[in-house]
Structure 1
């Protein structure tokens, strides 16, 4: 999913891909523009990090134009990924991503002064890689971090 953060220069968008098994953010990217390009850059980072068998994957998103764009659909289809989209106007279908963004803003971004776009990217990296994935405990995972959960299972 994608969220927006107000920066000094205007909006900056953060796209994340979560592994629903471990709740780990397995790929993320930021951009000044909320577009299919942002989604595809995030998918590429995720693909490079996980090197999955696409035929065994389900990619779930909302019905935003970035996800319905022919470039995004083609990228996923070329890797044999099954595409799943939320019901129109139903944020509950994407609850894990919405929860991540709520925590990201509440625990991290709201505690910072207004940032530049580059500072927002640095802070997002720190939150995701140094806190959320490796330290933050999740009740749904037995009160361990996503990285700990993946190591245990």
Structure 2
């Protein structure tokens, strides 16, 4: 099944098509899509901008959210109705877990039931795996009390929580309350002082490339980096990802802010288009590539991170060479009035010129697109 094109890529293609510098068929060919697909994208853009009647994407998402919310309210009402009947039979609170199983059998998620009834899903799952001892139940009861007390006043530490529990007539040692609060990470807001300065963190990945920028197959080794260029309305930042097998730019993102979201967006665009398996993604030690959200994105999609040394541009030289080429062919060719003007120029050069017209000697005088197609055919024949 074909993967959907990234939204950022679709917006850029529509912007280029609306400039009417070439027929739609030629623009579609330049960007590697069908003319019908481009026509549909233009129609969707007209709907989103109110030029053409139709259901906007935001309205469709809002409708889906309303349906989801309505379904959730129906589930919550059913939980409360069944719980009222359950307690009316005089059942002890510790026996409410069977009700969760009954509701799950009727299609109501366990997480929703636990949230409505006011206890954690972890406690329910533990009960399913093992019989609940009285000690476990007492700890759960104390934990719920501590959560309620701490929620009312987050400044309370475990000592104040223990005092409040004692005032409610529940017997529990201060040490036991400390253990339960530690497990739930219930700390006083004033428990830890924040430092005045923060040092840059260590590298989050080892250098798995060691300046050997060669790959024997598609999606074996990717390189990434961020470059910037000034316009009359401010700076524009580009994060690009390069496949070292074909030297194709498999994903990129452009923004007026150099944040971790820029790098994450480029990675997600590359993943949607390529579906990588056992891929190494190599970068420098920029803060965007050391951020938690970037590392989580790599891990959740099965990518292996790699990082060069601090201040060693040669550790990512193959990516720097692409940016140098972009600098000479686009960025430094003229003065750019607006960010949108520069954005379209970058996108057009990557998709039309670099991918489909510029032949590279390292690829046997083929373009990246031609090299990939021939490699795929050779693999299919083999």
TM-score computed with the length of structure 2 as normaliser: 0.39
Provide the alpha-carbon RMSD of the alignment.
1.0
Q: Alpha-carbon deviation of 1:41? A: 0.7
Q: Could you list the structure 1 runs, at least 4 aligned residues long, displaced by more than 4 angstroms after superposition.
A: none
Point out the structure with the larger strand share: 1
Matched, 1:16 2:234: no
Matched, 1:104 2:329: no
Indicate which of 113, 117, 139 corresponds to 2:335: 113
Aligned to 1:133: 355
Indicate which of 69, 78, 92 corresponds to 2:291: 69
Matched, 1:145 2:360: no
Q: Is the 8 A contact 2:231 2:335 kept in 1?
A: no
Q: Which has the higher contact order (CA 8 A, sep 6+)?
A: 1
Indicate which of 80, 93, 96 corresponds to 2:302: 80
What is the CA–CA distance in structure 2 between the aligned matches of 1:87 and 1:115, rounded to whole Å? 36
Point out the structure with the larger helix share: 2
Indicate which of 280, 297, 318 corresponds to 1:58: 280
What is the CA–CA distance in structure 2 between the aligned matches of 1:63 and 1:119, rounded to whole Å? 30
Aligned to 2:254: 30
What is the CA–CA distance in structure 2 between the aligned matches of 1:129 and 1:50, rounded to whole Å? 16
Specify every segment of 5 or more residues in structure 1 that has no aligned partner in the other structure, as ranges: none
Specify every segment of 5 or more residues in structure 2 that has no aligned partner in the other structure, as ranges: 1-224, 376-382
Secondary structure at the counterpart of residue 96 of structure 1: helix
Larger radius of gyration: 2
Aligned to 2:125: none
Aligned to 2:228: 4
